[in-house]
A and B are shown apart, each in its own frame.
Chain A
Amino acid sequence: MKIQLNQIAHARSGDKGAHSNVGLMFKSKQLYEWAKSHITTDLVKVHFQSIAKGAIVRYEMDNLLALNFILGDSLGGGGSESLINDAQGKTHGQALLLMEVDLPDNLVQFVNKK
C-alpha cells in the first residue's frame, strides 16, 4: 500500500552547524525493522535533493525504534549567516514525513487512520 511516512512515523529536526538532523521514530518494532532496511541514505538523499547539498549520514537507535539522519549542508550556510527562511532546519522533519513509501501488507495494520 502506498502511504506517506506521516502515517506511520514521528519526526523532529533541528540544526547542527551548517547541517540539519532529522530524527525518525516509529511506534512498533515491526515498522522500525522495515524502516531500517527501506529508509536508506540513498532514498533520503533523493528526497532532499533540492535541500541537502552534502552527504546524508544515518544512525540507528534500536532502543528508541528511531533512525537519525544528518542532512549535510542543508541550511544555506546555517545559523545567522543563512538568508533562507528555515535557516535552522526546523521544518525538515515535516519534509521527511511527506515521503511516499510502499508499505508491505503485513504492516498496514500500523497505519494511522487520521
Chain B
Amino acid sequence: MKDIIRIGNGQGFWGDSIDAPVRLAKDGPLDYLTLDYLAEVTLSIMQRQKLKNPKAGFAHDFLDLIKRILPEISEKGLKVITNAGGVNPQSCRNELIQLAQSSDSDMKIGVIQGDDIFPTLAELRTKGVTFENMDTGDSFDSIADNVYSANVYINSITIAEALEKGAQIVLAGRVSDPGLALGPCIYEFGWNSDNYDLLAAGTLAGHITECGAQCTGGNYSRWQDVPDLAGVGYPIIEMQPNGEFCITKHDNSGGLVNRETIGEQVLYEMGDPNHYISPDVCVDFTSFKLNDLGHNKVAITNVAGLIPTDTYKVSISYFAGYKASGQLTISGPNAYEKAQLTAEIIWKRLKNSGVTYQDTSTEYLGLSSCHRDINPVPSQINEVVLRLGVKDANKDNVNRFGKEIAPVITSGPPGITGFSGGRPKAQEIVAYWPALIPKELVHTTVDVI
C-alpha cells in the first residue's frame, strides 16, 4: 500500500479553465486527476443532444484535454477520474479509444453506468417511487410530461471497482462531485464501506477540492493577500491510509492555501454541517481539526462519519417555460432617474401592446442590484446598466419583449447605449427537481476494456 496518494482537481464545473488540468498533470507529482464537468442543467443538454444524435451526450472538452495529457497517462501512470461521460459514457469511451489508437497509445478505460434512470422513470413509478420534490414536497405529476433528464448520484465504490479492474481513465455520469476524489482512496487503501470515518475524510477532501481554485485563493474574502491569481494553482489532496490528509498545490503555482482559504470552501453550499449527506456516507463537518502547516499546506484530521441514508438523491431536469433578459447602459446627468424612466417606458409599451408575463425583473447593475438596501444610494451615479427580464409559458410573448429594448434608444431619454448582440431571444428554462430513490432500485455496472 502507498503511504500517500496525490489527487488533484483540475475542473470545478462545466466551463472551468481548460489549462488548469494540464498544469496540474505536468507541473508536479500527481497520481490522480479528477475533473467535474456536470451541473444539473448540463445533463439535460446532453440528454437532448443524445436524442438528436445517438453518439452525442458527453463533455467534448474532455477529449481535447486528454490529447494534451496523453503522455502523462500512458507513460507516467497518471489516472483520470471524471463525470465527463454525461449521459453517454460508452460513446465517450469509443472516441477516446480512437484518440489513443491514433497516438499509438494503449489505454484501459472504465465506464460506470446505471445513474441514468431517464429511460426507466415510468417503470420506477409503478414500483412505488414517487419522485416527490425533496425540497418542496410537490408531486412529480406536475412535471411528469416535461422531464428532460433524470440521474442518480451514485456511490464511489463504482470508481474504486473500475480502478481495481485496471482502468487508467474512469468515465462516469452522475457520481457525486466529492466521490471523484473518494473513489481512488477506497481503491488504494482498501477502505471498507462501513468505515464511515474514513469515507467521511475522503468525502470532505473531495468537497474542499471540487470547486477547483475556490480553495486555493479564488473567490477569497482577503483577495488582497493572494499572490499571482492569474497563475493560480488548482488544489491537490495528499491522502494517507488513515484518512488524515493535506490540501496543497504545486510549488511553482500562484494562489494561496491557508486555514482561511480552506475554511471558506468548507462552508461553500453548506446546509446543516452536522449532516452532510453523500451517497457513500453522512459527514459531520463540525468534527474535524484543521491545522495550517504554512507553505501553502493545510492538514485535516479527526473527520467523523455516520451511517449513510438508504436513499440516493436523483437530479431531475424539466422544461419550465421561457425567459429572456436584455440590458442597456444609461449615462450622463441624472443617469439613475433616466434608467428608471427607461424601464417604465419599456414596461408600459409592452402593456399597451397587450402582452403580460408570469414574472418580470427590473435591476440597475452598478447600483445595488446584488445587495439591495444593504447599500445606501450614492448621491452621484455617472452611469448604470438597466437589466430587464421576463418569464412566461408563451414563447411569442417572451420574444415580443426582446423587440421592445432597442427602440427606446431613439425614443427614450438621452445617453442610452450598450445595446449589442441583437434582440434577446426566448430561452428554454430547464429547471431542477431534486428527489430520492431507494438504493436497492439502482443498479450500477462497471466495465473496463
- A residues apposed to B, CB below 8 Å: 6, 9-12, 14-18, 21, 23, 25, 27, 47-51, 59-66, 68, 70, 76-77, 79-81, 83-86, 91, 93-95, 97-99, 112, 114
30 intermolecular pairs with C-beta atoms under 8 Å apart: A6-B221, A10-B221, A10-B263, A10-B264, A11-B264, A12-B268, A17-B135, A21-B267, A21-B270, A25-B260, A25-B263, A25-B264, A27-B260, A50-B374, A59-B272, A63-B287, A66-B263, A76-B361, A77-B359, A80-B432, A81-B429, A83-B325, A83-B360, A83-B391, A84-B363, A85-B370, A85-B387, A94-B370, A95-B370, A97-B221
Whole-angstrom CA separation of A54 from B430 in the bound complex: 24
B94 within 8 A of A: no
Given contacts A79-B432, A98-B371, contact A68 B221 (CB under 8 A): no
A35 to chain B minimum Cβ distance, whole angstroms, is 14
Smallest distance from the beta carbon of B440 to chain A beta carbons, Å?
27
Residue of B nearest to A10 (CB): B221
Instruction: Name the interface size band of chain B.
Output: 35 or more
* Min distance, Cβ B173 to any Cβ of chain A, angstroms: 20
Evaluate whether A62 and B264 lie within 8 angstroms (CB atoms) in the complex, with A12-B219, A16-B269, A81-B431 already known: no
Tell me the chain B residues, 258-286 only, with Cβ under 8 Å from chain A. 260, 263-274, 285-286
Residues of A within 8 A of B263 (CB): 10, 25, 64-66
Quick one: closest A residue to B372, CB to CB? A50
Chain B residues 301-357 with CB under 8 Å of chain A are 320, 323, 325
Given that A66-B267, A68-B273 are contacting pairs, would A84 and B361 also be in contact in the complex, using a CB cutoff of 8 Å? yes
Q: Is B290 an interface residue (CB 8 A)?
A: yes
CA distance A59 to B289 in the complex (A): 18
Contact flag A21-B432 (CB < 8 Å), given A50-B372, A51-B371, A85-B369: no
How many angstroms between the C-alpha atoms of A18 and B270 in the bound complex?
14
In contact, A80 and B431 (Cβ under 8 angstroms): yes
Which residues of B sit under 8 angstroms from A64, Cβ to Cβ?
263, 266-267, 285-286, 290
